[in-house]
Chain A
């Protein structure tokens, strides 16, 4: 009902203005989760692991340790050092309990122990850190790369668009897992290469989405208005177009975050993830795989549950967001 108003003579007084405050925005965000049960469930699943990741031990307050851990090389020294204090994790992820390998859940070891007698809970708790750090990083990198390409292709159109999209289409038509395999096989397994692989695999999809949005938004009159002011293409792309594409991009990023966790887990499972003894979730499942048939499925089972919780949680949040945004349309 936007097209119904008028007066000619007197100026129109504005109805009581409502300044959107920061507090109000936060409240709005929270009320979204109370409206959408699906998103709330997702938030609980993901939030659980975020809390665990934050408070597994005193590592996060020592940045040196944290950076090293993400890179997967410092963990052994750190977790055996004097400074180390385990909080929520209860044990160090590398401490081996002699004679207690492959045990089921018990009061001492809530989730049991792995092949080498390490506490599975401690390993999962620490593993959540790398996966919950690498996934957002890779999505953000992919967003920057794919978003810029997509904006440029969509806004400029023509030959730039044609060539760029053909190349990106070619990457999309390439099974992602092969991309991971070839890249990791060529460059070796490391956190950086995992991010690189996920960026290369994810950026074309983002570029496609952003291009579609840019193609739509650039036909709006306010873009023509900016052009008739003689604004530069970069101003139009990033200031006029990008902010209006944020809704779908946020939803897509949430989904991609899920894919990224999914992919990082899969790489770990295939032996292409972070090198041991990093408590990588995928690697934990891989290590426990052979014992399932022997009736000791704990290691593989807990690892699978942990990763499923995070991916499903992220997808639920994305689904809730998408549904909510549809409602407003």
Chain B
């Protein structure tokens, strides 16, 4: 790619001082202000930022689809030299779907459920280009082939609900590419997808850009994803672009304090909490109704000076191709940054292996859900009984005061596993031994002391608290139920708990709708620890939070764990987060554990082939790290009817290493290969061969 040559061309799209406002009863709200950038042919511009920073507003502003109360208040958008602002609806219509195409976050709801895939694709050609149906059909099939859709002919006849989420996104991408648009806008295109599917879709985006030479505007909250596919990156904060630079510069040499903070928030792949600390950004994103008078980031900035508080900051170039909205960008040296005192890394005391004692032993645990069979006979109770084998024959041991992480893609059974342990689901078979107690049956058959010992932290901050009751009320309830403290001390204990999660006592009378997501999650943690449990099960506690909040909550969790010596099981789909937080890690696929072991052992060979694929797929927020290219084919099979033998055999990229192309994988359950130090791999491939795998990536040396 000859970038210099490209630069001489006219940009496909130029955005100048764009301002977007929403009209409300209380007056206009300026959600996006002074945004400027341009995108060239064959280039991908990433737009990254936390939720509510105006990324999607910019995307929909580009096609002037802002709803009834939204409007472009200021500035201009030039598309191929012509202004898009002030065009008639009919002129915009001829551009949309033809010259400017869009891909959305949620593929399932973005396709019309009552129309066949073919019909939804073909109309783009028949409406814009007036081609005949036969020709449109042929071109759609051809395009589906280009997005690696298996069996395009038949997919054309299908309805959206009949194909998987990844395939739906491919259909949407294919539809967008049909007219060979000059500009493709992708709004969080992989956020709703699993990590292996995400990796494949990102590969596809890259290939298509190369093949069609399209200008792509790629919006994501995930720094790793942006690092993988973008040429240049614009970082947005509170409705403004604060930094715009080539992708390597953004990650290697960030100039704006916000960008620097953002990168420090994210756990680096391969780092753990015993060796590194996450540095959250203090304060919170200001509401667009109530912006600071000067620099929007000033209230949270470590370098803020008087000048930052008084004047609006302009977006200015500091190097070629590198612009930043900061008065003192040249003076700030990110390498010289030191965290404030309370953020100094704590030296965690690692428990030596010989002193580790088991607290939870799970033996051949099975959790099946009954599933109504599709046979009409089942209406009268005669149909064959079918089961969703959500957790099937899982065994592991959790060590006292340590964290066991569980990773896997959606539907692998990790949530069911901890719900079964805590008693929200019934045990179908197997044994769960918790400190000598046999945990069988659901939670309401257990005695109060067992219930108290096991608590849970939940995923969704907006659902973790009952919206009808105050914070104090909800923290009091477990104290009363578990009789943790005498009645007259309940209030002071609640306040102590609030302080433990870094909230002050004024939160006592707050209702949940007055709290931010991170605050709700803290209350959820306080509630879980109210009964001083021995084992806390965390179900994706940070995955719904923005990275800066995520860092704070992770720090809080590890601090409390350290203080109480609590054992934790920690579920997450983000491999960097799990690695950061866990001492041991179990990898699950389709209801089975395929690999379990000490955290550092999981991230280096010998790998289970599935672990290897996961690691190859994980988006790493560092464009310098080269990942090995291993991609999974096909879809995750249904847990209703899982594959025989090794459940991974239908998608395994390493089967060919075995004689007869892995015939044995289809028929026999994989044996346990013990790599020592409680590192176990369930695979037919001998350990020696597994050890010979290339590492997926070089884990950078520990330290800052």
Nearest residue in B to A16 (C-beta to C-beta)? B506
Measured between C-beta atoms, what is the minimum distance from B497 to chain A in Å?
Answer: 12
Q: Is the CB of B342 within 8 A of A4?
A: no
CA distance A231 to B448 in the complex (A): 10
Q: Is the CB of B462 within 8 A of A8?
A: no
Q: Is the CB of B463 within 8 A of A1?
A: no
Q: Is the CB of A221 within 8 A of B460?
A: yes
Contacts of B51 in A (CB 8 A): 1, 3-4
Stretch binding the partner chain, chosen from B212-220, B515-523, B602-610, B611-619: B515-523
Q: Is the CB of B467 within 8 A of A7?
A: no
**Given the interface contacts A5-B519, A11-B499, A231-B481, does A221 sit within 8 Å of B459 by beta carbon?**
yes
In the assembled complex, A325 has its CB within 8 A of some CB on chain B: no
CA distance A227 to B481 in the complex (A): 12
In the assembled complex, A6 has its CB within 8 A of some CB on chain B: yes
In the assembled complex, B343 has its CB within 8 A of some CB on chain A: yes
Q: Is the CB of B503 within 8 A of A12?
A: yes
Q: Is the CB of B502 within 8 A of A12?
A: yes
CA distance A128 to B444 in the complex (A): 51
Choose among B342, B423, B507 the residue that contacts A8 (Cβ–Cβ < 8 A).
B342
Q: Is the CB of A240 within 8 A of B466?
A: yes
Measured between C-beta atoms, what is the minimum distance from A289 to chain B in Å?
Answer: 48
Q: Is the CB of B424 within 8 A of A6?
A: no
| A204-244 at interface with B (beta carbon < 8 Å) | 220-222, 224-225, 227-233, 240, 243-244
Measured between C-beta atoms, what is the minimum distance from B483 to chain A in Å?
Answer: 12
Q: Is the CB of B504 within 8 A of A230?
A: no
**Given the interface contacts A2-B462, A3-B517, A225-B464, does A10 sit within 8 Å of B342 by beta carbon?**
yes
Q: Is the CB of B546 within 8 A of A229?
A: no
Q: Is the CB of B282 within 8 A of A8?
A: yes
In the assembled complex, B167 has its CB within 8 A of some CB on chain A: no
**Given the interface contacts A1-B287, A222-B466, A228-B423, does A8 sit within 8 Å of B552 by beta carbon?**
yes
**Given the interface contacts A1-B285, A5-B517, A6-B283, does A229 sit within 8 Å of B544 by beta carbon?**
no
Contacts of A244 in B (CB 8 A): 466-468
In the assembled complex, A175 has its CB within 8 A of some CB on chain B: no
CA distance A60 to B279 in the complex (A): 70
**Given the interface contacts A12-B503, A227-B424, A228-B423, does A5 sit within 8 Å of B443 by beta carbon?**
no
CA distance A13 to B502 in the complex (A): 9
Q: Is the CB of B509 within 8 A of A4?
A: no
Nearest residue in A to B559 (C-beta to C-beta)? A8
Contacts of A6 in B (CB 8 A): 280-284, 518, 548-549, 551-552
In the assembled complex, B555 has its CB within 8 A of some CB on chain A: yes
Nearest residue in A to B444 (C-beta to C-beta)? A230
Measured between C-beta atoms, what is the minimum distance from A42 to chain B in Å?
Answer: 22
CA distance A11 to B501 in the complex (A): 8
**Given the interface contacts A2-B520, A7-B552, A221-B458, does A12 sit within 8 Å of B504 by beta carbon?**
yes
Interface string of A1-31 (1 = CB under 8 A from B): 1111111111111100101000000000000
CA distance A233 to B444 in the complex (A): 9
**Given the interface contacts A1-B287, A4-B284, A230-B451, does A224 sit within 8 Å of B458 by beta carbon?**
yes
CA distance A222 to B459 in the complex (A): 11
Could you list which residues of chain A lie within 8 angstroms of chain B, going by C-beta atoms?
1-14, 17, 19, 220-222, 224-225, 227-233, 240, 243-244
| The 8 residue pairs across chains A and B that have the minimum distance between CB atoms | A9-B342, A14-B506, A3-B517, A5-B284, A221-B458, A4-B285, A5-B516, A243-B468
Could you list which residues of chain B lie within 8 angstroms of chain A, going by C-beta atoms?
50-52, 279-285, 287, 340-343, 419, 422-424, 443-444, 446, 448, 451, 454-456, 458-469, 474, 477-478, 481-482, 498-499, 502-504, 506-507, 509-510, 515-520, 524, 527, 544-546, 548-549, 551-552, 555-556
